[in-house]
Amino acid sequence: MKLSAAVFSALLFSTASAGPLSRRQSNQTQNQNQRAGTPMSPARGSAVGAAYFISNEPTGNQIIAADIGTDGKLTLRRAVDAGGLGAHGNTDPNGPDPLFSQGAIKASSSGNIVATVNAGSNTLAVFKVNPNDPTAITMIGKPVGSGGEFPVSLAINKAGDTVCSLNGGAVNGVNCFKVDQHKGLVPIANTARSLKLNQTTPATGPPGTASHIVFSEDNKQLIASIKGIPPQPGFLAVFDVASDGSLSQDFQSVAPAKGGLLPFSLTVIPGKNAVLATDAGLGFDIFDFARNAGAGNAIAGAGRSSAVAIDGQVATCWSSFSPETQNFYLTDIGTATVTEISVDNNLKGTIVKQYPQGQGSGTIDNDIATVGNNDFMYVLSANATRIDVLSLNAPGKARNIQKLDIAGPARASGVKIDGNNLQGMTTFIKKRVLHTLWPGKTYRELQNAGLVQEERFAKDRRGKVYRHL
Ligand SMILES: *[C@@H]1O[C@H](CO)[C@@H](O)[C@H](O)[C@H]1NC(C)=O
Ligand SMILES: *[C@@H]1O[C@H](CO)[C@@H](O)[C@H](O)[C@H]1NC(C)=O
Ligand SMILES: *[C@@H]1O[C@H](CO)[C@@H](O)[C@H](O)[C@H]1NC(C)=O
């Protein structure tokens, strides 16, 4: 099909009107009725998406939402009542990473939702995201019981219509829910499955606690990670997901390769039927499920699984994958360092580069979002009450581009936060769809077809030709 420049219409980039509230909120019960939540700072240009984390305050959990700009930088916009209480696990000394987890809040662009745990209320809440202004979120229905105690992590399937929770307290296990656009989260039959951990509510850890829950790449398995209690290594609990969404009665327990101890975050290795798990006691573990298939029970180091040390690490616990650089980025709360890892075709993982974020900043949860053709990493540096933003650029070429203070804007707007309670990091990127001429075509598809070239704006001589819808 020949496409002439004349058929392009010059459209303005949609500018989401933020509609900031003038009224300052200090009462969380009132907040809950405020759709737009407590405003934190004004918009800075148009947003291509949002980053979310939770205050996880025991007196009232709030979702804190920041705009992601076209340059990948963040602007804190609002705090929205999550409909329940936060919690802090029992640990000594007390410090950041209250839920000992990754995935406490999780967004889905395909489902247009963001879901959070309320660990102190044993509930989950799901919110609709306004695609034109992604920090404007509205709770769907009411918070629902998480199916256990001390929920710490959430998985959302590819379609964005199923949410599964990982409960890490005295009543622990997994549970799955359908996202109903009116009722909110509706329990799916035969998904309440125990992990049989000997735990307390709130959980006592970090050793021996539930860490993270994810779907496998094909969405046919649900995987939860459990840290060991040294010298006993932890394990992954792998459930089969049936077509009706129900889970296998029992899970397959998969131990890390020799040397693995405290599997924490789970990041799918694309195209490999494998995951990279950070290991707080070592560095990271690679779990090769392809070679484990049909194994039945705990097989340490099956197939190409491995446990890899990161020299000088203290507690490597969180990870994300960059589709653009094809590398993995891990954070260590103790060294406050981002470690970039490449995993080759044979699942061999090697350290590419390390990026220190400032001693004592307490780098915990992170997520990566693609803006234009570039990936950006958002690191919750909880102990510094800050978000560190890295532009990943190319393998081995990440660069810090922003240190976003959370404490100042929170104080100024009356949003209660504490670095020891903050948790989670997830991103939402607006779907980019070309206007009318090619309905349903994404920017990337058109770019691959050679129809648009520029990184952030698809333009011809007449102006911009796409917008966020
Ligand atoms: C918050 O607002 C509710 C409802 O208006 C009220 O009952 C409650 O006393 C308020 N709490 C505080 C701490 O102001
Ligand atoms: C559970 O943990 C507690 C505290 O560590 C311990 O006293 C108890 O023996 C454990 N129970 C089982 C069944 O392992
Ligand atoms: C957090 O900051 C305090 C005060 O600067 C420091 O003593 C502590 O070691 C830090 N914790 C982490 C996990 O970085």
The Å distance, Cα 116 to ligand 2 centre, comes to: 30
The Å distance, Cα 99 to ligand 3 centre, comes to: 18
**Closest listed ligand to the CA of 30:** 1
CA–CA distance, 381 with 9 (Å, rounded to integer): 43
Determine which residue's CA is closest to atom 11 belonging to ligand 3: 360
Inter-CA distances, 462 with 7, 14, 46, Å: 10, 17, 21
| Radius of gyration in angstroms for the set of CA atoms belonging to the chain, rounded to a whole number | 21
Residues with CB under 6 Å of ligand 3 are: 95-96, 333, 360, 362, 383
Q: Are 137 and 179 in contact (CB under 8 A)?
A: no
For the chain, the residue count is 469
Q: Which residues of 360-389 are buried (b: 16+ CB within 10 A; e: fewer)?
A: ebbbbbbbbbbbbebbbbbbbbbbbbbbbb
Q: Which of 24, 26, 29 to mutate to test the pocket of ligand 1 (most atoms within 8 A of CB)?
A: 29
CA–CA distance, 77 with 84 (Å, rounded to integer): 21
The Å distance, Cα 230 to ligand 2 centre, comes to: 15
Phi–psi pair at 32, nearest 5 degrees? -60, -30
CA–CA distance, 259 with 282 (Å, rounded to integer): 8
Q: Which of 383, 386, 418, 423 to mutate to test the pocket of ligand 3 (most atoms within 8 A of CB)?
A: 383
Determine which residue's CA is closest to atom 5 belonging to ligand 1: 30
The Å distance, Cα 360 to ligand 3 centre, comes to: 5
Q: Are 74 and 367 in contact (CB under 8 A)?
A: no
Q: Which atom of ligand 3 is nearest to the CA of 359?
A: 14
Which pLDDT score is estimated for 442? 67
**Closest listed ligand to the CA of 207:** 2
Q: Are 394 and 403 in contact (CB under 8 A)?
A: no
Q: Which two tokens stand for residue 142?
A: 């009411």
**Closest listed ligand to the CA of 384:** 3
**Closest listed ligand to the CA of 94:** 3
**Closest listed ligand to the CA of 416:** 1
The predicted model scores a pTM of: 0.86
Q: Which of 24, 26, 30 to mutate to test the pocket of ligand 1 (most atoms within 8 A of CB)?
A: 30
Domains of the chain and CATH, by start: 5-431 (2.130.10.10), 434-469 (no CATH)
Determine which residue's CA is closest to atom 3 belonging to ligand 3: 360
Residues with CB under 6 Å of ligand 1 are: 27, 29-30
In tens digits, what is the pLDDT along the chain, a chain of 469 residues? Answer: 333 332 222 222 222 222 233 333 344 444 444 456 999 999 998 899 999 999 999 999 999 999 999 999 999 999 999 999 999 999 999 999 999 999 999 999 999 999 999 999 999 999 999 988 999 999 999 999 999 999 999 999 999 999 999 999 999 999 999 999 999 999 999 999 999 999 999 999 999 999 999 999 999 999 999 999 999 999 999 999 999 999 999 999 999 999 999 999 999 999 999 999 999 999 999 999 886 544 443 444 467 999 999 999 999 999 999 999 999 999 999 999 999 999 999 999 999 999 999 999 999 999 999 998 899 999 999 999 999 999 999 999 999 999 999 999 999 999 999 999 999 999 999 987 555 456 666 666 777 777 665 544 454 444 444 544 3
Which pLDDT score is estimated for 449? 76
The Å distance, Cα 171 to ligand 1 centre, comes to: 32
